[in-house]
């Protein structure tokens, strides 16, 4: 769990990221953990930071990339900022479904990257947020203003944005301790036999393709629950609920049970419906308001391209 991001001037501009290790990450290698958490940095760049003495474990310089982490460990890693990845305001369409002084809830469109990264320096959700919302938390630095969690580029749906640091810490903690509810609707290939189930498999970077994640023995703990909504002539409409937040988690777990998400070109088998992205929609988000403590629950209807595919399969449920 990341607890803060600190800007520091040491000749060149540096960012110090701080993480606390929880039960679910105990036993994982230091370099594997950091490269998974810091998606914009390659594993070789993380190893370089370790070799240069820029990584501390419990206050002491960590000189080995393969150190096995324990619950309660604190990691600090100092990395050079990438100036081109600083988010700037852009007048982009943004569907804000709720907003108050502390947070906003946004229904992200498919095709929009959450924050700037290599290959996507602009046109992201972060750029749009900066234009439409003036006050945002600074916990994750200039590249991810207000961003508490993320959605894949071609996954649509609900995402919460923090307007101040206190709200950010509260929301991040709720996601980390699993008290926040994040549920998705997805159309999977094939008929899932069980009406409901649990997928509890570790996820790490694929050893064969860095662009992919995979179920791996040395990956990070990941837990997904699913429930079948309807079986549709060789496809299954299901609800997937996240209890951890690993990169591509639902997509990887769906592939692991041999029912990849329809339209997923990275993990799927085919694209019969000629889709530009997977049929995966974050339709439900629930959490406690970071200031009032009131329970908030939001729902986002399925986008039109998703419902059209369901209609073509004679889906009788109205989501």
| Alpha-carbon span 19 to 74, nearest angstrom | 6
Considering only CA atoms, which of 220, 234, 216 is closest in space to residue 312?
A: 234
For Cα atoms 128, 146, 55, give the angle at the middle one, nearest 5 degrees: 120
What kind and span of H or E run contains 292?
none
Contact 259, 164 (CB under 8 A): no
Catalytic member of 102, 152, 154, 264: 152
Tell me the pairing of strands 12-20 and 2-10.
antiparallel
User: Which residues share a beta bridge with 106?
Assistant: 96, 159
What kind and span of H or E run contains 285?
strand 280-288
Contact 254, 261 (CB under 8 A): yes
**Active-site annotation holds for 23:** no
Contact 147, 161 (CB under 8 A): yes
Active site residues: 152
């Amino acid at each position: 769990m990341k607890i803060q991001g600190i800007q520091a001037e040491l000749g060149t501009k540096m960012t110090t990221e701080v993480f606390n290790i929880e039960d679910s990450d105990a036993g994982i290698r230091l370099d594997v953990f950091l490269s998974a958490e810091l998606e914009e940095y390659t594993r070789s760049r993380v190893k370089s930071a370790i070799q240069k003495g820029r990584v501390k474990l419990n206050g002491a310089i960590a000189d080995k990339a393969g150190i096995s982490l324990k619950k309660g460990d604190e990691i600090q890693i100092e990395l050079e900022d990438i100036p081109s990845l600083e988010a700037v305001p852009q007048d982009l369409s943004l569907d804000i479904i709720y907003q108050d002084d502390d947070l906003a809830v946004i229904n992200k469109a498919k095709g929009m990257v959450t924050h700037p990264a290599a290959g996507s320096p602009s046109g992201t959700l972060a750029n749009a947020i900066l234009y439409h919302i003036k006050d945002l938390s600074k916990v994750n630095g200039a590249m991810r203003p207000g961003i508490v969690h993320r959605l894949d580029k071609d996954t649509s749906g609900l995402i919460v944005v923090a307007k101040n640091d206190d709200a950010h810490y509260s929301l991040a903690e709720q996601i980390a301790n699993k008290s926040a509810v994040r549920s998705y609707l997805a159309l999977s290939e094939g008929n899932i036999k069980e009406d409901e189930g649990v997928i509890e498999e570790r996820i790490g970077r694929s050893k064969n393709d860095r662009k992919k994640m995979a179920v791996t023995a040395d990956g990070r703990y990941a837990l997904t629950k699913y429930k079948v909504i309807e079986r549709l002539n060789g496809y299954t409409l299901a609800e997937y609920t996240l209890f951890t937040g690993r990169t591509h988690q639902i997509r990887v777990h769906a592939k692991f049970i041999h029912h990849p998400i329809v339209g997923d070109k990275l993990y799927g088998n085919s694209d019969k419906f000629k889709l530009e992205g997977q049929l995966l929609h974050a339709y439900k988000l629930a959490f406690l308001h970071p200031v009032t403590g009131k329970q908030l629950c939001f729902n986002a209807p399925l986008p039109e391209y998703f419902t059209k595919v369901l209609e073509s399969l004679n889906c009788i449920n109205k989501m």
